[in-house]
């Protein structure tokens, strides 16, 4: 049981990835929205406590509001017997999110607690002093840069390099980026490997000291450039620790 409160243009494709292993990412969540056919799984997220999922704000709109999350399975189309579907009780958008790339982070409060086991378990949150050069992105997005290709049925993962914000600023120049690439963002990717066009909101994660029993969420898949398979921009989770912790563990702050 984790008791430390700290431990607990959208991209939609995993390019150059491979199948995830059973229980490899027990914090991995898919967000479901109501559709004519029932529930459509549209974005990724990360379980960070028994009651909360962390995701990207751009995944949530008035017409596409998550009503359910699915966790504990590698396959969304034919879920494993270990899966859990939980209704969403409340959506908490970052107060400064304005649909313009910045503050692209949100929380989903669950209607009932997730049941922890080998296939469902929360991830930890990266700290400001965590310095990494490589991380792993995961999601159910497409596996090739083809517009009409269906999303992957099985959870995908890809290891990618962290790119300096200085280099990222030279690459990403867009009218919507009025402040450019800021410190609250992190860039990652390499030729032929990326998250792009289903993986929005999903985690960019790493394991400390190669202990893959617990992953730390370093970033949330946010947006990318014109070409898939090159580089993506992620919301830097450690920049939002105070906001996350006050929403998820308010009792911890009430004690001090």
Q: What are the structure tokens assigned to 148, written together?
A: 């009409």
Cβ proximity of 200 and 41 under 8 Å: no
58 is catalytic: yes
On whether both 141 and 230 belong to a single domain, the answer is yes
Q: In terms of residue numbers, what domain contains 136?
A: 124-238
On whether both 135 and 80 belong to a single domain, the answer is no
Q: Which of 27, 30, 49, 58 is catalytic?
A: 58
Residue 19 within a domain: no
Q: What is the pLDDT of residue 36?
A: 87
Q: Which of 49, 200, 222, 239 is catalytic?
A: 200
**Is the pTM value of this prediction over 0.85?**
yes
Q: What is the pLDDT of residue 94?
A: 98
On whether both 89 and 138 belong to a single domain, the answer is no
Report the C-alpha gap between 101 and 87 in whole angstroms: 27
On whether both 138 and 228 belong to a single domain, the answer is yes
Q: What is the pLDDT of residue 197?
A: 43
CATH number at residue 223: 2.40.10.10
Count other Cβ atoms within 10 Å, centred on residue 95. 7
Residue 35 within a domain: yes
200 is catalytic: yes
Domain count, the chain: 2
On whether both 173 and 150 belong to a single domain, the answer is yes
On whether both 106 and 70 belong to a single domain, the answer is yes
On whether both 78 and 139 belong to a single domain, the answer is no
Residue 101 within a domain: yes
Coil, strand or helix at 219: strand
Count other Cβ atoms within 10 Å, centred on residue 57. 25
Residue 11 within a domain: no
Q: Which of 30, 46, 104, 239 is catalytic?
A: 104
Residue 50 within a domain: yes
Q: What is the pLDDT of residue 154?
A: 85
Q: What angle do CA 30, 40, 57 make, to 5 degrees?
A: 55
Cβ proximity of 194 and 232 under 8 Å: yes
On whether both 134 and 91 belong to a single domain, the answer is no
Cβ proximity of 84 and 115 under 8 Å: yes
Residue 249 within a domain: no
Residue 79 within a domain: yes
On whether both 61 and 141 belong to a single domain, the answer is no
pLDDT, averaged in runs of 10, over the chain (256 residues): 39 60 95 91 96 97 92 92 97 91 97 98 97 93 46 82 92 83 92 59 91 89 71 94 96 67
Q: What are the structure tokens assigned to 31, written together?
A: 């967000």
């Amino acid at each position: 049981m984790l008791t430390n409160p700290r431990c607990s243009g959208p991209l939609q494709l995993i390019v150059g990835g491979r199948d995830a292993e059973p229980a490899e990412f027990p914090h991995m969540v898919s967000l479901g929205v109501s559709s004519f056919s029932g529930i459509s799984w549209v974005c990724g997220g990360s379980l960070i406590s028994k009651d909360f999922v962390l995701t990207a704000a751009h995944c949530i709109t008035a017409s596409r509001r998550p009503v359910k999350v699915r966790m504990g399975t590698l396959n969304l189309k034919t879920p494993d017997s270990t899966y859990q579907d939980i209704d969403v009780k409340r959506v908490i958008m970052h107060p400064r999110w304005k649909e313009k790339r910045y503050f692209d982070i949100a929380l989903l409060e669950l209607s009932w607690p997730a049941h922890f086991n080998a296939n469902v378990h929360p991830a930890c949150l990266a700290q400001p002093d965590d310095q990494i050069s490589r991380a792993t992105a995961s999601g159910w997005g497409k596996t090739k840069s083809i517009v009409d290709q269906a999303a992957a049925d099985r959870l995908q993962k890809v290891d990618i390099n962290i790119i300096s914000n200085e280099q990222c600023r030279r690459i990403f120049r867009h009218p919507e980026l009025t402040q450019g690439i800021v410190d609250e963002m992190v860039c990652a990717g390499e030729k032929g490997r990326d998250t792009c066009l289903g993986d929005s909101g999903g985690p960019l994660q790493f394991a400390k000291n190669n202990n893959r029993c617990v992953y730390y969420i370093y970033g949330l898949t946010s947006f990318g450039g014109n070409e898939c398979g090159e580089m993506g921009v992620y919301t830097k989770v450690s920049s939002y620790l105070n906001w996350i912790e006050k929403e998820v563990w308010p009792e911890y702050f009430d004690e001090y």
